[in-house]
Amino acid sequence: MTGVASNDRGFTLGDGLFETVLARGGRLVQWGEHMARLRNGCEALGLPVPAADACEARAFAALDAAGLRNGRAAVRLTWSAGPGGRGLDRPADPAPQLVAGAAPLADGGADVALATVAIRRNPTSPAARHKTLAYLDNVLARREARASGADEALMLSTAGDLACAAAANLFWIREERLFTPALECGVLGGTVRAALLADAGAVEIVAKPEALAGAGAVFLTNSLIGLQPVRAVDGIDVDVGHPWLAELAALVDALE
């Protein structure tokens, strides 16, 4: 395990970004989309952009080191603001750090129960809209959901609109249409989410939690789990037999 300096601003302040990428059969899935999101995040945080080929080399090196080059694995790339002195202001000449790691990944697909949590998404915070090292709200939202017996959190925005799960985007099907909360609800722009907007006719919406009541299906997406059906929301069963689910899961599994 490589280390980072204990004054690295990623450690001291959450000042940095990360990407989690699915590696499958020797390929980094949606690699271009992940690099584009990382670039957007760097712009929002005012960080320099790492070279995409350095990121790719580090990702494959991490897979090799873990003996996962051709398996199914999660690659995490971390791009921190690097060592810094005391206080909030970055040093005049920052030296960002790139860290990569890989871990084996089981097949996804198991359905999950959601519980609405008290921690909400803050649409004014870059940390809600980008994949930053300040991920504590997500950690605590998941923890809160698990404490109530659920598998994953349903997070609302501070305005009370539907937002996302602790580590996934949210979708639902209603009257033969596919919906997902708009980014302005404090939502991370997931790469699978983007694919479903582009290729499956999903529609972005600002909606209250009541929109899930009576939905034909509810599901989560992220790079690593793919599509994960939701079987219950706050103890109320949701049908996991909707015919679109298998079709959309196949679309997600085919992403390259």
CB 171 within 8 A of CB 180: yes
Give, as one character, the DSSP assignment of residue 48.
P
Ranges of H-type helices in 176-222: 191-199
CB of 72 to a copy of itself, least distance (A): 13
Among positions 32, 46, 109, 235, the unique one binding a copy of itself when judged by CB under 8 A: 46
What are the Cα distances from residue 161, in Å, to 116, 186, 208?
12, 10, 5
- Which helix or strand (DSSP H or E) is residue 13 part of? helix 9-13
Ranges of H-type helices in 46-173: 52-65, 126-129, 136-147
Give, as one character, the DSSP assignment of residue 17.
E
Site string for a copy of itself, 60-99 (x = CB under 8 A): --------------x-x-x-x--x-xxxxxx--------x
Among positions 13, 194, 205, 240, the unique one binding a copy of itself when judged by CB under 8 A: 13
Among positions 55, 112, 119, 192, the unique one binding a copy of itself when judged by CB under 8 A: 119
Give residue for tokens 């598998």. Answer: 151
Q: By rule CB under 8 A, what count of residues binds a copy of itself?
A: 58
Site string for a copy of itself, 163-202 (x = CB under 8 A): ---xx-----------------------------------
Q: Which is nearer to a copy of itself, 116 or 216 (CB)?
A: 116
CB of 44 to a copy of itself, least distance (A): 8
Cβ-proximal residues to 26 (8 Å cutoff; 6+ apart), any chain: 69, 70
Residues that bind a copy of itself (CB under 8 A): 1-15, 18, 45-46, 74, 76, 78, 80, 83, 85-90, 99, 101, 103, 118-127, 132-140, 142-143, 146, 158-159, 166-167
